[in-house]
Amino acid sequence: MWGGRFAAGPDEVMAAINVSIGFDRRMAKQDIEGSLAHVRMLEATRLISAEDSSAIQGGLNTIASEIREGRFPFREAYEDIHMNVEARLAELIGTAAGRLHTARSRNDQVATDFRLWVRDAIDAGLDQIGELMSALVDKAIAHAAVVMPGFTHMQSAQPVTFGHHCLAFVEMFERDRGRLRDARARLNESPLGAAALAGTSFPIDRAMTAKTLGFDRPMRNSLDAVSARDFAMEYLAAGSILAIHMSRLAEEIIVWSTAQFGFVRLSDRFSTGSSIMPQKRNPDAAELVRGKTGRVIGSLIGLMTVMKALPLAYAKDMQEDKEAVFAAADTLSLCLAALTGMIGDLTINPDRMHASASAGFATATDLADWLVVQLKMPFREAHHVTGRLVKAAEKKGVDLTGLTLAEMKAVEPQIVESVFDVLTVDSSVASRSSLGGTSPDNVRREAETWRDKLKLQ
């Protein structure tokens, strides 16, 4: 492509360090889309003849089908996807192929291809996150009233409903979608026509190519257009937060499925056995979702390190951007599919959850609140009285419902029978009907709202 001023070919090591076709072939579809938009614009602005344009378009379409059918000869000798396509075009249509690169450089070409690729990855990711959210919403509806212990510091805190716990993750994943949508809106500008870095003297129509490729507008500065990779970093940053959220859900599944907790059971489809311990059902898929978070965050850190302090405009360092993004997209997609499958298949053990919620004096706050409301006690004093009642129950080896009224009166004489109404975990969750609270009614309403919202998308 630049033979004019070179007498010798590249050293073997030079070729080895330079070649990118092994990975940027994944942008073949986007590369052809970009070239088709470019050539139509060259024809419309009379920069090339209608004849050459249709020969080039025909050739590009042939290449597109060769790629789809796995017949395209990807060749390392042509370094990257852009030169592979152009070289193949020359083989197919001859000299007219040489006119395609008019008013274009690989610098704006690669920036265009990569934006299109990331945009597709975001769209696919949004759909997959939606599926995971739907799986969680289904569980929330099915188990809106199932009581489980809620934890702080991983210590029993207050009872919550399983549906409420599921919907907490739905909220997190919705924000992940928001971040990806924001990134998509910002990246959706066309670098095409920025050429190498300075723009071009040809009377091109950048608005036309932008529109053809579904971009909202052309980018306003040619230097920025070829240098910017913040769109890729933003995708990886949003993806990293998504991966972190997935790891937290995976961790819950791992803990809940232990024999000690016994809250949930993973299906056979998402468990593995041990070759030596026959009793084992290992949550490998959940552990790998948790573990793969490192790869996604690693991609973000890797690309940020590549971009840090890089002078304008293009530098070959930036060829290092793609593998990070491809790998992260693959990992995110796999983890989303695995989690969606695990959640869909998950069976829960409501009795076990209920029993566990009842242990650990989880309704102590309800008792304190009762003292405040019924006996008009200041909360601090109620907290103290409740502490003494918990101590009495602990001594007797029962939970709060296991104390007799007489035993309670020994601590606080004003206590009456109706206190027992607030001491069960069911009454506790039912009473938490404040906005965003865990009551089954709230959960049902929220889950139905989510179900409608997800259906509409």
Q: Give the three-class secondary structure for 222.
A: helix
8 Å CB contact between 148 and 357: yes
| Cis previous bond, 225, omega within 30 | no
Using a CB cutoff of 8 Å and minimum separation of 24, what contacts does 200-207 make?
A: 200/103, 200/104, 202/45, 202/47, 202/102, 202/103, 203/45, 203/47, 204/41, 204/42, 204/45, 204/47, 204/103, 205/41, 205/44, 205/45
At a CB cut-off of 8 Å and minimum separation 6, what does 327 contact? 295, 299
Task: Report the residue number, 314 or 370, with the smaller CB distance to ligand ARG.
Answer: 314
CB 109 to ligand ARG: min, Å:
7
373 and 362 in contact (C-beta within 8 Å)?
no
| 153 given a catalytic annotation | yes
Could you tell me the smallest distance in angstroms from the CB atom of residue 143 to ligand ARG?
49
Query: Of 107 and 439, which CB lies nearer to ligand ARG in the complex structure?
Result: 107
Residue pair 331/243 in contact (Cβ under 8 Å)? The answer is yes
Three-class SS state of 272: strand
CB of 79 to ligand ARG, least distance (A): 7
CB of 6 to ligand ARG, least distance (A): 14
CB nearer to ligand ARG: pick between 59 and 191: 191
Query: Is 274 a known active-site residue?
Result: yes
3-state secondary structure of 296: helix
Closer CB to ligand ARG, 199 or 437, in the complex: 199
Which tokens belong to 307?
């971009």
Output 256 or 314, the one with its CB closest to ligand ARG.
314
Residue 69 C-beta: closest distance to ligand ARG, Å: 24
Annotated catalytic residue, options 153, 201, 418, 434: 153
Which residue, 192 or 357, has its beta carbon nearer to ligand ARG? 192
Q: Which residues bind ligand ARG (CB under 6 A)?
A: 20, 24, 80, 106-107, 110, 314, 316, 318-319
Q: Rounded CA gap, 237 and 290, in Å?
A: 17
Q: How many residues does the chain have?
A: 457
Q: How far is the CB of 14 from ligand ARG (least distance, A)?
A: 13
Which residue is catalytic, options 49, 65, 267, 274?
274
Shortest distance, CB of residue 70 to ligand ARG, whole angstroms? 22
Strand partners, 218: 190
Query: Are the C-beta atoms of residues 29 and 213 closer than 8 Å to each other?
Result: no
Residues with Cβ within 8 Å of 240's Cβ and at least 6 positions away in sequence, in order, are 293, 296, 297, 299, 300, 328
Strand ranges, E, within 153-254: 155-161, 189-190, 217-218
Closest to ligand ARG by CB, 21 vs 144, is 21
Residues tagged active-site = 153, 274
